[in-house]
Amino acid sequence: MRRRVRPPAPVRVHTAAGQPAPLTVLFGEFYGGKVTGNSKYYGPPTQVGFRVFDVAAFSDADALATQLQADIRDLSTWRETETPTGLRYGQHFLPETALAAYLAQVGLPAVPPLPTFTASADEATHESVLDWLRQHLPHTQAALPGHTEPGRAEGVILRTADRSAIVKVRFEDYERTLNQRGKK
């Protein structure tokens, strides 16, 4: 049985001057149901969930309008480009506290919080990342109603505090690289 989901009433993010942001973009992920091959770990095939992991707010309407007129390649480069020191993003992501407040206001769930992953570039090996995942994510933290056993976690979104780097880290990728599928 399908049920119709009514979208929430519009809620605006405001600029520092108290004006509504002209555009707010939510970055999230549907999971469960038959969304991916890993959906079985979240709950029954009839259940689907959605979690938000980031929100970008564009506060300068004129600059945004100009940017959106750019060639698609230039727009893509503005949105995300790799530099020698990491990724650079053209959009402004909300800080953690503002993100939590916004999601509470619109009634959307955030991805579950996890402890901070700290490692220098030399310390962040495939082994250390996989060990961190296993220690802090022994099973999914996003189980859906009707799921009786804790399912396998798929992975996490890691990001630096200043959003200079954002990456999805999945068990499957690290286990495949290290040929350790299912080992604990």
DSSP 8-state assignment for residue 175? H
DSSP 8-state assignment for residue 39? G
- Report the candidate in 138, 129, 134, 143 with the shortest Cα–Cα distance to residue 174: 129
Q: Running along the chain, 184 residues long, what does each successive block of 10 average in pLDDT?
A: 49 59 83 83 85 86 84 85 73 85 90 82 85 90 79 84 75 88 55
DSSP string, 64-127: HHHHHTS-HHHHHHHHEEEETTEEEESS-BPPHHHHHHHHHHHT-PBPPP-PPP---TTT--HH
Determine the pLDDT at residue 163. 67
Determine the pLDDT at residue 8. 47
pTM, 2 dp: 0.70
Determine the pLDDT at residue 1. 45
Determine the pLDDT at residue 149. 79
